[in-house]
Structure 1
Amino acid sequence: MIFPLRTVAALSLLALSGSAPAWELRLPTRNDALLRGEGLDFYQFVDRTFEGEKSNPWQGGQFGFVRNPVRSGGEIVYTRFHEGLDIRPTQRDGSGDPLDLVHAISDGRVVHTANVPSQSNYGRYIVVEHDWGDGPFYSLYAHLAAIHVQPGQRVRAGEPLARMGYTGAGIDQRRAHLHVELNLFLSTDFQAWHDRLFRDPNHHSLYNGLNLLGLDLAGLYQAHRRNDISASDFVRQSPWYFEVAVPGRARMELAQRYPWLLETRPSRTAPGSWRIRCTAWGLPVAITPSDSPVAEPTITALATRQLSHGYHTRGLLSGSGSSASLTRTGLNFIQLLTGF
């Protein structure tokens, strides 16, 4: 649903003045090594060949820029972004298949089940919508062997959803794992955006992974365990990497769905531009209306780096140091993010 700007302002005040209700956040399998700081026992390894040496680092199963190392300027930089957590199984049957059940991380409603593994790199996957009082968040559970729920079904935190597997591209039995994400939802216009850019059909409606943008779920688990932080506060406190300005006529559906992203109240009329601060992978952490107009999406601020910004932004930006601009990939992403 799209709201008028005056409604956005009211929702923004509500989001800023009141805290979200208490909420429960559970791990999705019986593997709780993350909470003990035992990454080796929690994350599934990746196969890596770098500079002629083969290795199986568990660190590649973490969230963030943890894959595809390159050496640049005497420094090793990990250039491929991984949007979730790859959780290894705790038990297998006699043939080596995982037996772990996959559980809902919080109360919610199943909004999508994908039962044809060949139709996504996720293999079989499930999306669950969660309402914690600050806009919808979406957990995604992938590479499943079997799905035990249906779209529209209400689930409780800890309720079984599926069984862990190894469906999807590039995964074999020895690397069986659950890939889990927690995401913001980007746009109800996703299908039109997808049709403009891709020839392959979209089999997953609005719950295609391209329309869901992940946050650092491992970091949220740790922060929530320490001080019961809300998901919205966690997003707002995430370090930003670049700021992009888009014309004021952009739909900004994101600000309407997540009004807590707004730094200041918008007026009743469209601003000259919207300024969106994003993490390195593009997760919005703040949105500000501005009187200064722009004709097209423009980078207006960034965290400087000596190396290529492309390495640090999954190819959204080009340039280095204090100079950056949106790539074609970056422009397409911003168009989906903002509705420009």
Structure 2
Amino acid sequence: MSEINISQIVGQSDLYAALRKLAGQGATLPAVLAALDSGDAAAQETAQRLRAVDQGLLRAVMRRGAGLPAIDAEPAVLAHLAALTPAPMFAPDPARAKTIALLTAGQIPAMPAFSDRAFDAWFAAQGVTYGLGAYGEKRSVYQTAQFADAASPERRTIHTGIDVFAPAMTPVFSPLAGRVKYLTYNADPLDYGHTLILEHDAGGVPFYSLYGHLAGTLLKLLAVGDSVSAGQHIADLGDWHENGGWAAHLHFQIMTDMLDQTGGNFYGVGHESLWDVWSSICIDPNLVMQIPERRFL
């Protein structure tokens, strides 16, 4: 390609959009960073902003900008899951039990926030087995600086998993065979608390599932490297003190790629303007849970 015109990205507020444009012109991330590094102070500051962001995410954004799938593995993972019959993750299976959709944009005015301890009594009064939080829902709770990054002022607000609310210590069962990749305690407020990430095999292509907001019993049930069979008891739902400060629930998501995340955590929300990228990284977990879509409405 011709020399990169870094004026298209230097000092831009939204570096993701600028990278998409440059990728459409044939640029690669290493070439963009090299061009910025050789520029003036403003260019070098832009390079620093880019390097402060997960580089795997930037590569995925640029692949989309170049007209490619954001994640190479996505088609193989989708085909693999389509051929499986996953085990239920709860007993009874939420696909068949009494549920309520826990929508967060004011559709249920009396519902306390998931991070408000008043939620427990409210939920218990609903007379259902499970509450369901939807994949792809925009949530205003994710407006703090914790959900921002250096590449853009946009907060990550779009939910990349499915939530299942039930009492603390409700058992969770693995829907798929796999191997324990990470067992981590993510201690920041409104993070996952106890977290499990499993690695799975889609015909030689790895993919991952994440289980967040778990109980401390996790460390008694599994160890890193353990093999896990479909239907195996892998975790229990955590209570407020151990699950990041939320009402008891499971956050479940599937990742076609771990990007550059190696610490046992992963993004549970994505940027609205990058949803075509995030929905390739974190595909619809209902491909595994198989809950009727009407249950989320």
**Which structure has more RCO (C-alpha within 8 Å, separation ≥ 6)?**
2
Please, what TM-score do these two structures have when normalized by structure 2? 0.47
Please, what TM-score do these two structures have when normalized by structure 1? 0.42
Report the structure, 1 or 2, having the larger strand content: 1
